[in-house]
Amino acid sequence: MTVPETAAEIARAVNERELSAAAIAAEFEARIHLREAAVGAFLTQTGALALAHAERVDARVRAGEELPLAGVPLAIKDNMCLTGTRTTCGSKILENWTAPYTATAVQRLLDAGALPVGKTNLDEFAMGSSCENSALGTTRNPWDRERVPGGSSGGSVAAVAAGEAVLALGSDTGGSIREPAAFCGVVGFKPTYGRVSRYGLIAFASSLDQIGPVARTVQDAARCYDVMAGHDPLDATSLARPVAATHNGLRDDLRGVRIGLVNEFTLSALGADVRATYERAYADLEGLGADLVDVSLPTADYGVATYYLIAPAECSSNLARFDGMRYGLRVPGADVAETYERTRAAGFGDEVKRRILIGTHALSSGYYDAYYVRAQKARTLIAADFATAFQRCDAIAAPAAASEAFRFAAKSDPYSMYLMDYYTIPMSLAGLPALSVPCGFVTPPDGAHPLPLGLQLTTPLFEERTLLGIAHAYERATMHASVRPPIAANETARV
């Protein structure tokens, strides 16, 4: 039979022993082999490991266990540790580093039956919005190979969009799951900060980083989240509060739901087709029964400036450990200081160096109050604005990115790249759960192919159940998510 397209269907088929996990592992290894040349989603393929896990899953199923992710092919962003596999962060400095332990989130998915098919490409240390900052490979958008997949979780979204994996893990610091999910036409979900353990996620900006699922459907994202979420004693910032299951909270209409549209997020800066797509998406929400209300986020406009102080400040400290002493690249110098300098000069790319410099400056004596402390105050105000807005609505709808996927090298000026995350950064600063769900297509004037767009939905802290419920109703009614890129449109392999 054909391997089903969703995690929900695969798990059902494997649990009912209609399909073996081993056959699925073999099928995806072959599929990745066929498609990788065109997509380049993976930095490391782990077909043998997937097969070994598959055999264990089949044995457990035979023994009577029912696993929520039985036999589901999983791609893992290469900033998460998986014992015995290369974990690079897309950086030369970790190019040959093998993780000695497994991230909590990854472990929970593997324990639930997922098959690790490979480690995916990313902007170096998750710093970027196009995946072009990877030092180790180029990932192409499955919808148009001349375009970027978005970033930083570009490899994960491309893998799911191209059918090389059914689920993927991304990490989102300022939009790194949501923006690429929008660019590649998949669902990308960033949970509330602290819901999913960061243990084993190589830190970019610790107070913002959050692991989340990439999936073809909201239901699959919910299933993945339900397995991963919850307190981890190894992460002091993981939340101890109970997690409400989301997979059984999915709804089919939006009657009685108030959805806020942010006054300050004017669509006028967007291209005409893009704007029209979002206006139609808002109308569709209303058509499903939602009440659209205007809300205000007066400080959201400071999001990008705030983010580009806090995130680099944390990164300047988090990335200090890559010094050539204990692991990773070492370029020897005459003494310790020169070894540090040469190793870091050779090991880090330009964007990483830029952010380390910005962050080091922002934390320096004499500048700390003016930059870091002020940015933290702005962050508090932005979170307060959301809290006020949520008094008037249950969720907020907004674009997930400032445009459709762009061509390689189109954003050579760092600031124009930073603005891609204009709509996603405020939610990150406030720690809110947010996702991107496919909301239609535009064909840009300079392109030959229709490209997906993503609708961003956000709810108050801890309201993942509400968020996924709303997204599911929208997805189901609009069917945008069911359209597949040409490379994945012909999945008829029988196993």
Partner 1 sequence: MTEAPHAGLAVNGTPYESVIGIECHVELRTQTKMFCGCRNVFGAEPNSNVCPTCLGMPGALPVPNRLALELLVKAGLAFGADIPAFSKFDRKNYFYPDMPKDYQISQYDTPLTQGGLVEFWVRDGTRGRCRLTRIHLEEDTGKSSHAGSRDGRIAGSKHSLVDFNRAGVPLMECVSEPDIRTGPQAVAYLETLKRTFVALGVSDVKMEEGSLRCDVNLSLRPLGSSAYGTKTEIKNMNSFRSVERAIESEIARQAALLARGERIVQETRGWDEAAGTTHSMRSKEEAHDYRYFPDPDLSPIAFAGDDIARLRGELGILPNARIERFISDGVPLVQALQLIDTPGLAAYYETAATLSGKPQATLNFVLGDLSRLANETGIPVHASRVTASALAELVALVDAGTINSKTAKDLLGRLWADGGSARTLVESEGLAQVSDPGAIDTVVAEVLAANGKTVADYRAGKTKVLGFLVGSVMKQSRGKANPQLVEERLRAALETTGVS
Residue 378: CB minimum distance to partner 1, A: 16
- Answer for which of 267, 275, 368, 493 binds partner 1 (CB under 8 A) is 368
What residues from 180 to 199 belong to the interface with partner 1 (CB under 8 A)?
A: 198-199
Residue 353 annotated as catalytic: no
Distances (CA, A) of 154 to 116, 170, 175, 253, 434: 17, 9, 11, 31, 18
Stretch in the footprint of partner 1 (CB under 8 A) among 48-56, 157-165, 242-250, 317-325: 317-325
Annotated active-site residue in 20, 130, 171, 176? 176
Helix residue ranges, H only, 187-335? 218-228, 272-287, 303-318
- Binding letters toward partner 1, positions 294-313, x by CB under 8 A: -------------------x
Regarding 172 and contact with partner 1 (CB under 8 A), the answer is: no
According to the binding rule CB under 8 A, does residue 372 interact with partner 1?
yes
Please identify, using beta-carbon distances, which residue of 365 and 492 lies nearer to partner 1.
365
Q: Is 433 helix (H, G, I), strand (E, B) or coil?
A: coil
The residues in 383-422 that bind partner 1, with binding defined as CB under 8 A, are none
Find the binding residues for partner 1 in span 236-295 (CB under 8 A): 236-237
State the catalytic residue, choosing from 130, 134, 152, 436: 152
Burial of 176 (0-12, 13-18, 19+ CB in 10 A): buried
323 binds partner 1 (CB under 8 A): yes
Active site residue 176: yes
Strand partners, 451: 442
C-alpha closest to that of 27 among 67, 57, 62, 54: 54
Least Cβ distance, residue 333 to partner 1 (angstroms):
13
What is d(CA 289, CA 283) in angstroms, rounded to the nearest whole number?
10
**103 lies in the site for partner 1, by CB under 8 A:** yes
Q: Is 205 in the site for partner 1 (CB under 8 A)?
A: yes
Q: Check if the beta carbon of residue 302 is closer than 8 Å to that of residue 464.
A: no
Distance between CA atoms of 423 and 460, rounded to whole angstroms?
A: 16
- Specify the DSSP element, H or E, that contains 47: helix 47-62
Q: Give phi and psi for 385, each to the nearest 5.
A: -60, -40
Q: Which residues are catalytic?
A: 77, 152, 176
Provide the binding-site residues for partner 1, judged by CB under 8 A: 79-81, 87, 89, 94, 97, 99-101, 103, 198-203, 205-207, 233-237, 313-314, 316-317, 320-323, 325-327, 336-337, 340, 360, 363-365, 368, 372
